[in-house]
Amino acid sequence: MKIFYAVQATGNGHISRAMTLLPHLQKRGTVDVFLSGNNSHLTPQLPVRYRSRGISLYYNNAGGLNYPKIAFQRNPLDLFKEIKELPVNKYDLVINDFDFLTSAACRIQGVPSVHFGHQASFRYSETPRPLYKQWHGELLLKDYVHATHHIGLHFEKYHPAIFGAIIKEEIIQARPVNGNYVTVYLPALSDLALKRLLTPISGPLFEIFSRETKVVHREGHLLFRPIEQDAFNQSLIGCSGIICGAGFETPAEALHLGKKILAIPIKGQYEQYCNAAALNRLGITTLLPSQCLEINHITNWLQTAAAVQIDYSRSTQESLEYLWTIGTKKDESAISTTAWQAACAP
């Protein structure tokens, strides 16, 4: 089987998930990765066959989407030419993790595809939303990628086509302990803002992963570290709790490890508002979109919050079994494009 795997390179979550899934996909065939976008900071350890500037998602200083920058980042004629020439019709299976170019190419060339990832879960109305929906946020989550099938990943199984989070093997194999420190990962806040928030709070050590810090240093009960994946994994495994944004991968890893979480959605990021609503349903402490993080939020969380644990160790296996059921015949290890199209016909 020849597999075309399109990976959005906005942020690090998509690439991290692709690196976890790759060995499982390679058991079924040859995988060629299309990396689309140009604002990820994680080095992709993937078999990248095709690379494109794509259409990256950019954010403004307030954390919201920068729609003018998104709209005018590419020449429309060049973009259309690239879409037409993307060779999706040469593959038996097209998997798309939130890439617009692959979605458009499949529609133009009449090739079925599977939208696989966190954003795919928002195609289903059962997935939690905040009290007040944003029409433009819904438009992006639901219509940025079109596909024959949508296999979502989320904190809970809200729909038969939604599965738990894909967790890195290092986290799956870890033996968590509750040390006397709290991990802090809030890259939207400056070090100065974090100092003002955390310095007055007595009690645990705060281990802060900062986009501004280049060298590990300590200031009282605040330990600042540069953002580095292995160090962050170890910090998360050993902490008593984590203060982080309301993204998907980090809260999911903390849930798997059974860590208590304080999740703060970044203002203007509708997807994080949705994630916060889902976390709140689980009993996780979250802030409302209208709230700013304050000292009393942290002290109350330290004193009263309880940990929630969800086992995601089978999510990779379960989601891929569903994918193979959709994309292959049960009695064959590979399938022709024609048969795949027939199997996926709505």
Per-position DSSP letters for 247-306, written without gaps between them: -SHHHHHHHHHT-EEEEEPPTT-HHHHHHHHHHHHTT-EE--TTPPP-HHHHHHHHHH--
Backbone angles phi, psi at 162, to 5 degrees: -115, 135
> What is this structure's pTM?
0.88
Strand, coil or helix: 83? helix
Ordered alpha helix ranges (H), the chain: 13-26, 67-71, 76-85, 100-109, 135-143, 169-172, 191-198, 229-238, 249-257, 270-281, 295-304, 315-327, 337-343
CATH number of residue 226's parent domain: 3.40.50.2000
Instruction: Tell me, yes or no, whether 154 and 199 share the same domain.
Output: no
Instruction: Tell me, yes or no, whether 283 and 328 share the same domain.
Output: no
Tell me the two tokens of residue 238: 């050993």
Instruction: Tell me, yes or no, whether 159 and 19 share the same domain.
Output: yes
Instruction: Tell me, yes or no, whether 290 and 325 share the same domain.
Output: no
| 95-137: pLDDT as tens digits | 999 999 999 999 999 999 999 999 999 999 999 999 989 998 9
Instruction: Tell me, yes or no, whether 53 and 161 share the same domain.
Output: yes
Instruction: Tell me, yes or no, whether 119 and 249 share the same domain.
Output: no
Instruction: Tell me, yes or no, whether 294 and 338 share the same domain.
Output: no
Instruction: Tell me, yes or no, whether 223 and 207 share the same domain.
Output: yes
Mean predicted lDDT score pLDDT of the chain = 88
Higher confidence at residue 312 or residue 53?
Answer: 312
Strands 217-219 and 222-226: antiparallel
What domain count does the chain have? 2
Instruction: Tell me, yes or no, whether 219 and 245 share the same domain.
Output: yes
CATH number of residue 28's parent domain: 3.40.50
Task: Return the pLDDT at 58.
Answer: 56
| 206-248: pLDDT as tens digits | 999 998 999 999 999 999 999 998 999 999 999 999 999 999 9
Higher confidence at residue 85 or residue 55?
Answer: 85
Instruction: Tell me, yes or no, whether 153 and 32 share the same domain.
Output: yes
| 41-62: pLDDT as tens digits | 556 779 899 988 766 555 554 5
Instruction: Tell me, yes or no, whether 216 and 279 share the same domain.
Output: yes
Please count the other Cβ atoms lying within 10 Å of the Cβ belonging to residue 172. Answer: 17
Task: Return the pLDDT at 156.
Answer: 98
pLDDT band at 196 (very low <50, low <70, confident <90, very high): very high
Domain that holds residue 205: 169-304
In percent, how much of the chain has pLDDT > 70?
86
Instruction: Tell me, yes or no, whether 157 and 173 share the same domain.
Output: no
Q: Give CA–CA dist 105/14, Å, rounded.
A: 20
Task: Return the pLDDT at 335.
Answer: 36
Given a cut of 50, is residue 3 above it in pLDDT? yes
